[in-house]
């Protein structure tokens, strides 16, 4: 039973991070139909910039805020100067473009930080919390808290503000959106800013749980992409659920079957779901079929 709760906690922590990354994917996708495969790099940059800023003797709070701001700026620059000029009508070219971006960012990061692993201090003490046999790092609580907070902010922005309505409008009908005086480019810029910021926060929150290095973004990005696809790319609640599902499957797979096979189990699950439902668990059925 203790094992069960231990796996549950682990699954919820990593699942929460995947959910945040997935929401980042969906936010950008909804506004501009771009899947930004460089999303994982935002998490890497968040963690590593925070490490560097802390190294200069800055206070934790300031380092946190500054690194989130810097990553947000990087995200906006990427949209403004690269992605905006991408071939918007061709999904395959867009995938390749953002893969290129992610390789580029990772390469530049490896020049700045080398290939060493860095440890970021946890937000509060290193002492684990033990509760009837289940031990949990304090940082895990912070991660869950950060995830819940981000989920709430996203929900609030998208559902309760005019800005959210404008961004949603872009995904419904681009031409009509333009005619209503909304600038889709501006909305896409905003979407990149939002996913970069949320990515940076998630990246800083999980960095203390494990070491961080220039290549942590690869797997986080791919798992987030998996969650976004599994959830169907359409609604944020669906991909959040998919994120947690992937985290839980991974944690229980690692605990009950084999830790080496945990990723294979997750990917098998995704292929299995896509075979049955080609647009993910919560995606709209595709209109007009022309597949294999």
Q: How far is the CB of 76 from other proteins (least distance, A)?
A: 17
Length of the chain: 292
Summarize as ranges the residues that interact with other proteins (CB under 8 A): 35, 82, 85-87, 90-93, 95-97, 99-108, 110-111, 114-115, 214, 218, 222, 225-226, 229, 233, 258, 260-261, 263-264, 267-268, 270-271, 274-275, 278-280, 286, 288-292
Taking the least distance from each CB to other proteins, the nearer of 162 and 292 is: 292
| Rounded Cα distance, 197 and 46, in Å | 9
Q: How far is the CB of 37 from other proteins (least distance, A)?
A: 9
**Which one, 101 or 251, has the nearer CB to other proteins?**
101
Nearest approach, Cβ of 226 to other proteins (angstroms)?
A: 7
**Least distance between other proteins and beta carbon 53 (Å):** 22
Distance CA 146, CA 16 (A): 9
Nearest CA to 72 out of 188, 186, 196, 185 is that of: 196
Nearer to other proteins among residue 146 and residue 251 (C-beta):
251
Residues with Cβ < 8 Å from 258, sequence gap 6 or more? none
Rounded to whole angstroms, the Cα distance separating 81 from 94 reads: 15
Give the nearest distance from C-beta 169 to other proteins in angstroms: 22
Q: 42 or 225, CB closer to other proteins?
A: 225
Task: Give the nearest distance from C-beta 98 to other proteins in angstroms.
Answer: 9
Look at residues 216, 45, 213, 218 and name the one whose alpha carbon lies nearest to residue 118: 213
Angular region, 254: left φ>0, alpha ψ -120 to 50, beta rest: alpha
Residue 256 DSSP code: I
In which element (H, E) is residue 178 found? helix 174-179
Pick 29 or 142: Cβ nearer other proteins = 29
C-beta of residue 28 within 8 angstroms of C-beta of residue 188:
yes
Report the chain's terminal Cα–Cα distance, integer Å. Answer: 45
Nearer to other proteins, 61 or 289 (CB): 289
């Amino acid at each position: 039973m203790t094992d069960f709760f231990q796996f549950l906690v682990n699954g919820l922590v990593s699942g929460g991070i995947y959910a945040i990354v997935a929401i980042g994917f969906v936010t950008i996708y909804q506004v501009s139909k771009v899947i930004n495969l460089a999303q994982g790099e935002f998490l890497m940059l968040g963690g590593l910039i925070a490490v560097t800023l802390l190294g200069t003797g800055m206070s934790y709070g300031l380092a946190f805020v500054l690194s989130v701001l810097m990553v947000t700026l990087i995200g906006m620059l990427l949209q403004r100067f690269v992605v905006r000029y991408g071939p918007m009508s061709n999904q395959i070219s867009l995938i390749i473009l953002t893969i290129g971006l992610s390789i580029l960012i990772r390469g530049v990061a490896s020049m700045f930080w080398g290939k060493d692993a860095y440890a970021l201090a946890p937000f509060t003490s290193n002492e684990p919390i033990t509760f009837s046999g289940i031990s949990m790092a304090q940082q895990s609580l912070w991660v869950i808290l950060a995830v819940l907070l981000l989920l709430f902010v996203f929900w609030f922005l998208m559902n309760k503000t005019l800005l959210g309505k404008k961004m949603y409008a872009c995904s419904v009908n681009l031409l009509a959106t333009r005619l209503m005086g909304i600038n889709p480019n501006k909305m896409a810029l905003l979407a990149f800013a939002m996913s970069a910021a949320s990515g940076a926060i998630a990246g800083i929150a999980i960095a203390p749980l494990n070491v961080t290095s220039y290549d942590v973004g690869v797997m986080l990005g791919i798992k987030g992409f998996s969650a976004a696809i599994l959830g169907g790319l359409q609604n944020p609640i669906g991909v959040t659920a998919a994120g947690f599902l992937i985290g839980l499957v991974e944690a229980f797979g690692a605990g009950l079957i084999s830790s080496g096979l945990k990723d294979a189990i997750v990917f098998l699950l995704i292929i299995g779901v896509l075979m049955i439902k080609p647009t993910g668990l919560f995606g709209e059925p595709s209109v007009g079929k022309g597949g294999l």
